[in-house]
């Protein structure tokens, strides 16, 4: 009997990457529109990628079974 495959969450596979060390890499929010009203400092800080918090890491990994 064949093993049932788990489905990958489509929204999560577009937003998260699992690094080689097992951390969840993601990008910051607040970078798509209405950038004039945001400060230069906040726009600069949100350019870089960030890593998910430990509290959310297990939930994200559950959504990405084959990552």
In tens digits, what is the pLDDT along the chain, a chain of 67 residues? 788 999 999 999 999 999 999 999 999 999 999 999 999 999 999 999 999 999 999 999 999 999 8
Task: Give the integer Cα–Cα distance in Å for 42 and 5.
Answer: 42
Confidence at residue 21, expressed as pLDDT on a 0 to 100 scale: 96
In a domain, 1, yes or no: no
The answer to whether position 27 is within a domain reads no
Q: How far is CA 29 from each of CA 7, 8, 13, rounded to the nearest angstrom?
A: 26, 22, 16
Give phi and psi for 42, each to the nearest 5.
Answer: -70, -35
pLDDT of amino acid 7:
95
- Asked, for residue 12, whether it belongs to a domain, the answer is no
Is 32 part of any domain? no
Instruction: Look at residue 48 and tell me if it is in a domain.
Output: yes
In a domain, 63, yes or no: yes
pLDDT score, position 23 = 97
Domain, as residue range, for 42: 38-67
Number of domains the chain is built from: 1
Let me know if residue 42 belongs to a domain. Answer: yes
- pTM (2 decimals)? 0.81
Per DSSP, the three-state class of 40 is: helix
Task: Give the pLDDT score at 56.
Answer: 97
């Amino acid at each position: 009997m064949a093993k049932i495959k788990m489905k990958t969450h489509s929204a999560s596979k577009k937003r998260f990457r699992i690094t080689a060390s097992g951390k969840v890499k993601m990008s910051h929010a607040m970078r798509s529109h209405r950038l004039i009203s945001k400060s230069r400092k906040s726009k600069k800080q949100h350019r870089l990628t960030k890593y998910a918090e430990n509290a959310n890491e297990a939930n994200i990994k559950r959504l990405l079974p084959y990552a």
